[in-house]
Amino acid sequence: CGLKREPLYLASLTYFNAKRKKKVAEIHQALNSDPTDVAALRRMAISEGGLLTDEIRRKVWPKLLNVNANDPPPVSGKNLRQMSKDYQQVLLDVRRSLRRFPPGMPEEQREGLQEELIDIILLILERNPQLHYYQGYHDIVVTFLLVVGERLATSLVEKLSTHHLRDFMDPTMDNTKHILNYLMPIIDQVNPELHDFMQSAEVGTIFALSWLITWFGHVLSDFRHVVRLYDFFLACHPLMPIYFAAVIVLYREQEVLDCDCDMASVHHLLSQIPQDLPYETLISRAGDLFVQFPPSELAREAAAQQQAERTAASTFKDFELASAQQRPDMVLRQRFRGLLRPEDRTEDVLTKPRTNRFVKLAVMGLTVALGAAALAVVKSALEWAPKFQLQLFP
């Protein structure tokens, strides 16, 4: 029996290697095109396996963010560690980031990378005074540092911070809350029963905060899965992480429905994200949902959800007060439990008639068309979300 299985295994391995080799060749062809074929690179970043290796990511990630990899960021002549108001908080967060470094890494090397991590964050904040540090930001920066090194990580994260992450770096949490409020309408479109159960449990969306603001870097232990998601998110619309959060919840439907219908039980379950998720399947599903239910169609319900939660004042000072907590969502979770009035917590999003689902679209078709426009314009939710609200509420 074992002898019969061996040829099948070898055939499968041969096919996998050939497929991988073909993809590497296509990536290099796109990189060597004049001009660079960024649409093809997005397609490669999204398709199964993503960009495959960190060596390829070092070449492709700058292209996806339209950053010149040969143009080093300027070095600040200031002593940022003495001058920065964020230094102590950054230092605390970086010291707690041990598990984000590869197991077995020599201590001296890790400590050197932690110093570089601090320098990157402080330099970006100093160069962009409109940006406000938040706990969890270091989880994103360390991912880029480990993949591309200090110099290029500084350029890439600075670009990311002024675009994809811009809303998380406001002085208040209002825009971050607005993005979180897209979660339940997405779930409602796909699985009304699951949505209604979660609404009855009053679980809210705070369980997904650390997923969103760290691009899942804080909650996934396998670095391979983290960088695979970064490939996907860098190639897509800035709201794609909230769609991915939704498909995780949808994937765990039965676990959620088997829970006691109360906030503590459901929140505890969803806060403990499984490490063995079928990432490629979920990436494909998130892409499908983005095409079927784009943000423009969900904006009215997200705005209604925002209105229902308006009594929960949340600012980045919450994170500063939580300096002893490693979980980025700890204080906000407590605030939402304690501050929301019962009538606010139970208010539902806008009811609507159930509609027929669109025919499922292939994720590749979706993101190539979407990605080319999305990153060419690359506007943060700060710019486009209010516009949708203005259109819907003249």
Q: What's the Rg (C-alpha) of the chain? A: 21
What local confidence, expressed as pLDDT, does residue 349 receive?
Answer: 33
All domains in the chain, ordered by first residue: 15-161 (1.10.8.1310), 173-312 (1.10.472.80)
The pLDDT-based confidence of 76 (bands split at 50, 70, 90) is low
Give me the chain's average pLDDT, please. 80
What are the percentages of helix, strand and coil residues in the chain, rounded to 5?
65, 0, 35
Provide mean pLDDT across the span 21-26.
95
d(CA 178, CA 172): 11
What does the pLDDT look like over 42-68, one tens digit per residue?
Answer: 999 999 999 999 999 999 999 999 999
Alpha helices (runs of H) in 72-133, residue ranges in sequence order: 80-83, 87-95, 107-127
Cis bond before residue 185 (omega within 30° of 0)? no
Provide mean pLDDT across the span 139-165.
96
Q: Is the Cα torsion angle 294, 298, 299, 305 positive or negative in sign?
A: negative
What local confidence, expressed as pLDDT, does residue 377 receive?
Answer: 30
**294 pLDDT more than 70:** yes
The pLDDT-based confidence of 5 (bands split at 50, 70, 90) is low
The pLDDT-based confidence of 72 (bands split at 50, 70, 90) is confident
Candidates 47, 372, 100; CA nearest to 226 is 100
What's the burial of 21, exposed, middle or buried (CB within 10 Å: 0-12/13-18/19+)? exposed
What does the pLDDT look like over 163-221, one tens digit per residue?
Answer: 999 999 999 999 999 999 999 999 999 999 999 999 999 999 999 999 999 999 999 99
Instruction: Provide φ and ψ at 265, rounded to 5°.
Output: -65, -50
| 77 contact partners, CB below 8 Å, separation of at least 6 | none
Contact of 159 with 234, CB cutoff 8 Å = no
d(CA 274, CA 252): 9
Q: Which of 70-84, 93-107, 113-127 holds the top average pLDDT? A: 113-127
Q: Give the bridge partners for 172, in sequence order.
A: 315
**318 pLDDT more than 90:** no
Phi/psi region, residue 103 (left: phi>0; alpha: psi -120 to 50; beta: rest), is beta
Provide mean pLDDT across the span 146-174.
95
Distances in Å between the Cα of 45 and the Cα atoms of 150, 170, 183, 229, 363 are 22, 29, 24, 9, 12
| 116 contact partners, CB below 8 Å, separation of at least 6 | 145, 150
**341 pLDDT more than 90:** no
d(CA 49, CA 211): 21
What does the pLDDT look like over 210-261, one tens digit per residue?
Answer: 999 999 999 999 999 999 999 999 999 999 999 999 999 999 999 999 999 9
Lowest model confidence (mean pLDDT) among 104-108, 129-133, 270-274, 335-339? 335-339
**381 pLDDT more than 80:** no
Instruction: Provide φ and ψ at 315, rounded to 5°.
Output: -130, 170
Evaluate if pTM is beyond 0.85.
Answer: no
What does the pLDDT look like over 92-111, one tens digit per residue?
Answer: 999 988 889 998 999 999 99
